[in-house]
Amino acid sequence: MPLELQIIRASEFVRLNARERLDFEASKEALAVLARACLKRGLRSALLDLRALPIPAKPLFTPSELAALVDTFREAGFGRRHRLAVLHRGDPHGGARMFAFISRLKGWQVRAFDEFEEALLWLSEESIPQAASREGEIPISISQGQGQVKKLSVDLPARGTVRSVRRATPKQV
């Protein structure tokens, strides 16, 4: 299956101020423009290539700034069906991995890579719905009852024995 993706290089969104320091707001806006362009083209995959960035002595982004960058992709329209690979040359401060972690906490498909080939392989995989991902398992939907509380009675087994759990009927409740 062919793979269409947008490669977003660091030089396309990292913005510096007059003192040659990172301008977070300008960088965030440039990244948002690039993310919207991906969606406008109908792409489901993007590769954020950070390999050209020099490895700084201290982290470029704070955890809250990384979370704001994650939200930039969400605000641009990236969702659960999209995949974003973050490619880095080295991640001594864990920024790329933290960005991916925060994204996954929000339910998105984001991973950090230090090898281009691994990133492409992951991006080219078909995303498998979570319910069908494990062969032989049957998804079970769980819904809230109409305010009805069910109690379970549990007989504690004696040491070394196993007993079954008995469900109380509505009349016993």
Domain residue ranges in the chain: 6-129
Name the pLDDT band for 162 (thresholds 50, 70, 90): low
CATH class of segment(s) 6-129: alpha beta
Question: Using one digit for the tens of pLDDT, what is the confidence trace for 97-146?
Answer: 999 999 898 888 999 999 999 999 999 986 544 434 445 555 665 555 55
Indicate the pTM of the whole model: 0.65
Question: Using one digit for the tens of pLDDT, what is the confidence trace for 14-49?
Answer: 888 887 778 888 888 888 888 888 888 888 889 989
Query: What pLDDT is stored for residue 113 in this prediction?
Result: 95
Nearest-angstrom CA–CA distance, 75 and 149? 40
Other Cβ atoms less than 10 A from the Cβ of 34: the count is 19
Place of tokens 């982004």: 61
Question: Using one digit for the tens of pLDDT, what is the confidence trace for 45-76?
Answer: 899 898 988 887 888 788 898 898 888 888 88
Strand 83-87, strand 45-49: pairing: parallel
Nearest-angstrom CA–CA distance, 107 and 65? 19
Who wins on pLDDT, 161 or 63?
A: 63
* Angle, vertex CA 96, rays to CA 91 and CA 101, nearest 5: 130
Q: Residue range 75-79: average pLDDT?
A: 84
